[in-house]
Amino acid sequence: MELLGKSKEELRAFCVALGEPAFRGAQIYHALYSERKFDVAQITNLPAALRERLRKEARITLPEVKQQFASADGSVRYLFGLGSAEENKDFNTEFAENIASTEKGGKERASRLQKPASVEAVFMPSEGRQTICISTQAGCAVDCHFCLTAQLGLIRNLTAGEILAQVLLPLEEHKTRLAPQTNVVLMGQGEPLLNFEPVMAAVRILLDPEGMGISPKHVTLSTSGIVPGIERLAQEKVRPKLAISLNASNDEQRDALMPINKKYPLAMLIDACKEYPLRTWEHLTFEYVMLGGLNDAAEDARRVVRLLAPLKSVKVNLIPWNPGELPYRESSPERIEEFRRILVDRGVPAFVRYSRGRDVMAACGQLALLQIDGSQSPVVSLR
Ligand code: SF4
């Protein structure tokens, strides 16, 4: 039995099945997520006999840190090596078995599932806090045209344990100089709402005061606009903040940049946002990557204002494009400022978010050095 990623209830049930009292499960839960003990031998409040039994009957699988890149601004980009879906017996077996027969190109992808995958996370320290950007899938099926992760297709979904490990490992590595506040953003590779259950299992542990104890104000899930996923998230009792990757001011533009818009066009997306139950302290964040000459005109800014007008509490993050391999160019700082001014003057809070870690390809739009089929290739991901 894999322990990492399991909820308190699952660990309690596991201990009961071993003939142990249920509270032993809560002790394991606390040790894993609150104390970051990744070896059962270190969980010394468990009886020695139980530790020995767990050593034989359970495992705690951490991804391998394959590479680390430290930026001059203090950010650290991690390349994590994961096992194959095939190795992970607790997870995804149906998914792994079925895709070969049900999907176009599925045979090739099924064979990739047998191979280890890699994902990335970025640790970004700053005054009073650290922010960790994590991945929820290896590769991505969504096909945003400005994102090279899209060119990989979906390699596989990550498990809750693999998602949590991207937070636990950097926190453990930097434990002697952690700031009091930890922010987690689900903006790395993958579309979190297309891996809903494992993502929410991880989020519940992140937000549980007895688990990792991070405030819901400090965990943000970013989606390309998967409307059924937004509706499902709205039903969750425990949930992170929601950010929507907008990047366009009308359907024509968004269809060209993000084909997912054909399935969930802007009117449908905005309707789902209207229905989304915000907490008193919460606002919806819209991310808008500024692509020179493409979506950065004054008219685009005015359309964004009109688009967001039906929503109660929003803010817009304008993200300057980081030039890479893709055929887009940066907006000028003057153009970005003019865009921001138009939003702010019309009552839409807007901020320019410059990316961290540009020198190690950890910035937004540069997050990737994926390892596929055993070879490394630089790949740009946008979220
Ligand atoms: S931007 Fe995000 S949702 Fe779109 S293809 Fe890239 S990883 Fe997937």
Per-residue model confidence (pLDDT) at position 322? 80
Residues 356, 293 share a domain: yes
Per-residue model confidence (pLDDT) at position 115? 62
* Domain presence at residue 99: no
* Global pTM value: 0.89
CATH of residue 38: 1.10.150.530
Q: Which atom of ligand 1 lies closest to the CA of 149?
A: 6
Mutation pick for ligand 1 pocket among 119, 136, 137, 144 (CB with most ligand atoms within 8 Å): 144
140 CA to middle of ligand 1, Å? Answer: 6
* 258 conformational bin, left if phi > 0, alpha if psi -120 to 50, beta if neither: beta
Q: Whose CA is nearest to atom 3 of ligand 1?
A: 191
Per-residue model confidence (pLDDT) at position 162? 97
Q: Whose CA is nearest to atom 6 of ligand 1?
A: 147
Per-residue model confidence (pLDDT) at position 323? 77
Q: What is the pLDDT along the chain (383 residues), one digit of tens a residue?
A: 999 999 999 999 999 999 999 999 999 999 999 999 999 999 999 999 999 999 999 999 999 999 999 988 899 999 999 976 655 544 455 555 555 555 556 666 666 665 678 899 999 999 999 999 999 999 999 999 988 788 888 999 999 999 999 999 999 999 999 999 999 999 999 999 999 999 999 999 999 999 999 999 999 999 999 999 999 999 999 999 999 999 999 999 999 999 999 999 999 999 999 999 999 999 999 999 999 999 999 999 999 999 999 999 999 999 998 877 788 999 999 999 999 999 999 999 999 998 766 565 554 444 444 333 333 333 334 44
Mutation pick for ligand 1 pocket among 120, 134, 383 (CB with most ligand atoms within 8 Å): 383
* Domain presence at residue 208: yes
* Domain presence at residue 256: yes
What is the Cα–Cα distance from 290 to 223, expressed in whole angstroms?
A: 17
What is the Cα–Cα distance from 180 to 139, expressed in whole angstroms?
A: 32
Residues 271, 213 share a domain: yes
Domain limits for position 296? 61-82+117-378
* Domain presence at residue 103: no
Per-residue model confidence (pLDDT) at position 314? 98
Per-residue model confidence (pLDDT) at position 150? 84
Per-residue model confidence (pLDDT) at position 146? 87
One-letter-per-residue 3-state SS of 159-187: CHHHHHHHHHHHHHHCHHHCCCEEEEEEC
Residues 77, 12 share a domain: no
* Domain presence at residue 304: yes
* Domain presence at residue 100: no
Residue in the block written with tokens 């009117």? 267
Per-residue model confidence (pLDDT) at position 173? 96
Q: Which atom of ligand 1 lies closest to the CA of 382?
A: 1
* Domain presence at residue 96: no
- How many structural domains does the chain have? 2
- Cα–Cα separations (whole angstroms), residue 295 to 254, 299, 310, 329, 357: 9, 9, 21, 11, 25
Residues 128, 17 share a domain: no
Nearest residue to 63 via CA among 89, 95, 38: 38
Residues 121, 234 share a domain: yes
- Cα–Cα separations (whole angstroms), residue 378 to 148, 299, 321, 361: 9, 35, 17, 9
What tokens were used for 85?
A: 């879906």
* Domain presence at residue 110: no
Active site residues: 120, 364
Beta strands in the chain (DSSP E): 64-70, 76-81, 118-126, 129-133, 137-139, 154-157, 181-186, 219-223, 241-245, 284-290, 314-320, 350-352, 369-372, 375-378
What tokens were used for 72?
A: 């001059």
Nearest residue to 144 via CA among 315, 364, 373: 364
CATH of residue 300: 3.20.20.70
- Confirm if 27 and 43 have CB atoms less than 8 A apart: yes
What is the Cα–Cα distance from 369 to 131, expressed in whole angstroms?
A: 20
